[in-house]
A = this chain, B = another copy of it.
Amino acid sequence: MTEKEGMSVRKSENFSDWYTQLVLKSELADYAPVQGAIVYREYSYDIWERIKEFFDSEIKKTGHKNTYFPLLIPESLLKKEADHFKGFVPEVFWVTHAGNEKLGERLAIRPTSETIIYYFWSKWIRSWRDLPVLLNNWNNVLRAEIKSTKPFIRGSEFLWQEGHTAHATQPEAEKEVLYILNLYKKLCEEFLAIPVLIGRKSEKEKFAGAQYTTTVEALMPDGKALQMGTSHNLGQNFSKPFEIKFLDKDKKEKFVWTTSWGFATRLIGAIVMVHGDDKGLILPPKVAPYQAVIVPIYYKESENKIVLQKSKEIFDSLTKQNVRVHLDDRAEYTPGWKFNEWEMKGVPIRIEIGPKDVAKNQVTIVRRDFPEKTEVKFSMLSKEINIMLESIQKNLLEKAKKFFKENTKSVKNYGEFKKTIEKGGFIKAAWCFDGDCEEKIKKDTGATIRAIPFVTEKTQEKCIYCGKNSKGLVFFAKAY
């Protein structure tokens, strides 16, 4: 990789430019000729496949099944739940023609699938025997975003999973909402090495049509919060207009209780932001397409054969041990060029092997997360690689946790609040739970309530804005 191909902006200097440049130069994504749309190139799609695999196997264990519902939703259907329609209509892409024919009714490209799914459930669900219904969908959704688009973080098309469930009772729905929320937390922390806080959204911030929304929130290095996933309890808000009823064991007809939940390719953006550095990406081993890359080093033709042969042996042996390893045997690039490229691509471990290494039955391994070179004997290699991968995964989480902790602050008064929020990070502050205060704080500072903890700590503090009695401490931040 040449200098021109490398990063020219520092993360600490201009975070936003650094991010965009990294996404493009590491070949995660590229801009499409439609406003706010991107292509998910092979490197980001590979990461997405790993995230999918993790989450998919978890929800299948608990009886969730994947399905696919149509992309196009008739306008009349989207309108059935009024708040939902109002919330989504400004960003809907409308199909008006098929071939040369004008359609009788406009069709919305799904911004989310509640309404089309509920259309079917009103036909399919008849009896308590049909419940619970636990469906998930891996699909694409479109929302016309014109302002502040950013690859992966906010755009007009994204890939996601949307789960939709129907239950006989309210407690069952409630349990599902929290089960998923905790799975999201596990995905973020254990898999992506990104610490998060969880809680409820305020009335203003909840999903259009929900009874309440729960959320998983992370903190980006520029001090802004990023919503990583949401899990909604929709109560009977949708089952009533859509008439999704069942005959219960007691022979009474009842409306079902529904939930919906989703996370998107936005998570890829979070990985880039949280872990990346001035040289490029740093990928947590669990999501990395390649966990290790072997770079053979030789300068004379005569050394070439023995080094390549040994490299292949190492490749085979690590592959057998289920390490995702890549052998970069391209003759047209120098080792130095390759080092830069794989650093940019954030591969957790680089394995260097030259003629002297072969003679000494060893390789040199280099960590991506901090500069450490280790010489390792062939016989110990797969053991050492596995230990190092675990250590990198853990180190990335610890580092992010430290940042999260250092940037989550308590404040005593609104003046302090305003100063602190300018610097970024979460602020834990008392709130009266009145939407007016929330609105005024937002106008004033740009900060929103990111999450209301499930168990609100009792506090003597007064609302940070109005000074009235507080109902608990909540988390504020500026957000993407």
Residues of A within 8 A of B (CB): 30, 32-34, 37-42, 45-46, 48-49, 65-74, 77, 89-101, 107, 109, 116, 119-120, 123-124, 129, 135, 139-140, 142, 144, 146, 156-157, 159, 330, 332
Contact of A95 among B90, B95, B124 (CB under 8 A): B95
Residues of B within 8 A of A77 (CB): 33
For A92, give the chain B residue with the smallest CB separation. Answer: B99
Kindly state the separation between the CA atoms of A139 and B129 in the bound complex, as whole angstroms: 33
Q: Across the interface, which residues of B come within 8 angstroms of A140, CB to CB?
A: 68, 71, 139-140
Is B68 touching A45 in the complex (CB atoms < 8 A)? yes
Q: Do A69 and B99 touch (CB < 8 A)?
A: no
Let me know if B95 and A68 touch, CB within 8 A: no
CB distance from A328 to the nearest CB of B (A): 13
CB pair A97–B98 under 8 Å, yes or no, is: no
Nearest B residue to A65 by beta-carbon distance?
Answer: B42
Task: Give the oligomeric copy count.
Answer: 2
B45 to A65, Cβ gap below 8 A?
yes
9 nearest interchain CB pairs? Answer: A98-B144, A42-B65, A40-B68, A94-B97, A37-B70, A32-B70, A90-B99, A96-B96, A93-B95
Q: Which residues of B lie under 8 Å from residue A66 when comparing CB positions? A: 42, 45-46, 49
Instruction: Using CB atoms, name the residue of chain B closest to A95.
Output: B93
Whether the Cβ atoms of A119 and B33 lie closer than 8 Å is yes
Main SS class of interface, A: mixed
Further pairs besides A34-B74, A71-B142, A94-B96: 20, Cβ < 8 Å: A32-B116, A33-B119, A37-B70, A37-B72, A38-B70, A39-B69, A39-B70, A40-B67, A41-B67, A42-B66, A45-B67, A71-B140, A91-B99, A93-B95, A93-B98, A94-B97, A98-B144, A101-B144, A109-B109, A140-B140
Pairwise interchain contact B97-A93, C-beta atoms closer than 8 A: yes
In whole angstroms, what is the CA distance A146 to B65 when docked? 31
The minimal Cβ–Cβ distance linking A334 to chain B, given in whole angstroms, is 13
Contact in complex: B107, A98 (CB < 8 Å):
no
CB distance from A12 to the nearest CB of B (A): 30
Q: How far is the CA of A33 from the CA of B70 in the complex (A)?
A: 9
Write the nearest CB–CB distance from A282 to chain B, whole angstroms. 22
A-B contact pairs, 11 of them (CB 8 A): A32-B69, A32-B116, A38-B70, A42-B135, A45-B68, A46-B65, A72-B142, A93-B97, A94-B97, A96-B97, A98-B156
**Are A159 and B68 within 8 A (Cβ)?**
yes
Tell whether A157 pairs with B67 under 8 Å between CB atoms, given A95-B93, A99-B92, A140-B139.
Answer: no
B30 touches A123 (CB 8 A): yes
Contact indicator A107/B49 (Cβ below 8 Å)? no
A339 to B75, CA, bound (A): 42
Q: Which residues does chain B contribute within 8 Å of A67, judged by CB atoms?
A: 39-42, 45
Contact of A107 among B34, B42, B65, B100 (CB under 8 A): B34
State A120–B37 Cα separation when bound (angstroms).
13
CA distance A94 to B38 in the complex (A): 20
**Interchain CA distance A60-B46 in the complex, whole Å:** 11
